[in-house]
Structure formats: C-alpha cells, structure tokens
Amino acid sequence: MIVGFEWLIDAKGCNQNALREVEMLRDVFARIISDLQLKTIGEGNWHKFDGEGGVTGLVMLTESHLACHTYPEHGTATFNLYCCRERPEWDWTENLKTLLGAKEVKIERIVRGENPQSKTVGGEA
C-alpha cells in the first residue's frame, strides 16, 4: 500500500539575498500551494536567522507538509513536500530558477509505504 509521495529538492546557485527574505520564501510556498491545489492548516511557521543567516519555514497541509531551509552563504535552498496522495509534478527547476535565481535544481521523488521506490525526476539544470 502506498501511503504518500515525497519530493526532496536541492536548489543551488540561488540569489543569496532572496534566500534571506522570509517574504520571498512565503511567495515560493504560495505558488506551490496554489499550483498544486494544496490546502493549508494555519498560517505556517517561519524563522529568519540573525544577520546574514537564512530562513526556515514549515506549513502544515491537509495533505501533510511543505518545508524549506535556506543557506545563503552557500546559495542553496532545500525543500521538502510530502503528500498523502499523488499530485501532479510541479516544475521545480523552472520555478526555482525564476523565483530564486537557481542555477541547478536536483529533485528526488520518493513513493512511501510498502515497496517504496525512489526516483530522481529532475537533474541538474
């Protein structure tokens, strides 16, 4: 029995300033949630680390969760989307290039449950 689908995303070469801005990451989340027709529970939780630090965010979904953590000093953002049922593929590569200036996006999709399968659905951009 399949119990969920999980996407693990590493975006590299991103605009360092964008990775320090909570509002920018909120916009990325809003786009994902809208495009995939996900439903949020509450407002989400966001934290901006001091100084030149990054941002971490988590939004609970009726489908499960969406999370991110940014590393501006490395130009990297990581995302995790877990859904209890299959969703259409979101174009992580093109969207993160546009929204965060990513140069490279690695996407791994994992089927959770019995006979789990891991499949890389995107590569270097």
pTM over 0.85, yes/no = yes
Residue 54 lies in a domain: yes
Could you please report the per-residue DSSP string of 19-62?
GG-HHHHHHHHHHHHHHTT--EEEEEEEEEPSTT--EEEEEEES
Residue 104 lies in a domain: no
What's the number of domains the chain is made of? 1
User: DSSP 3-state assignment of 89?
Assistant: coil
Q: Confirm whether 14 is a catalytic residue.
A: no
CATH of the domain at 43: 3.60.90.10
Residue 46 lies in a domain: yes
Residue 58 lies in a domain: yes
Q: Confirm whether 34 is a catalytic residue.
A: no
Tokens (6 digits) for 11? 């975006």
Q: Confirm whether 69 is a catalytic residue.
A: yes
Out of 14, 34, 47, 84, pick the active-site residue: 84
Distance of CA 103 to the CA centre of its chain: 16
User: DSSP 3-state assignment of 94?
Assistant: helix
Give the structural domain span for 44: 20-71
> pLDDT tens digits, residue range 80-97?
999 998 888 899 999 999
> pLDDT tens digits, residue range 4-50?
999 999 999 999 999 999 999 999 999 999 999 999 999 999 999 99
Out of 14, 68, 69, 83, pick the active-site residue: 69
Residue 52 lies in a domain: yes
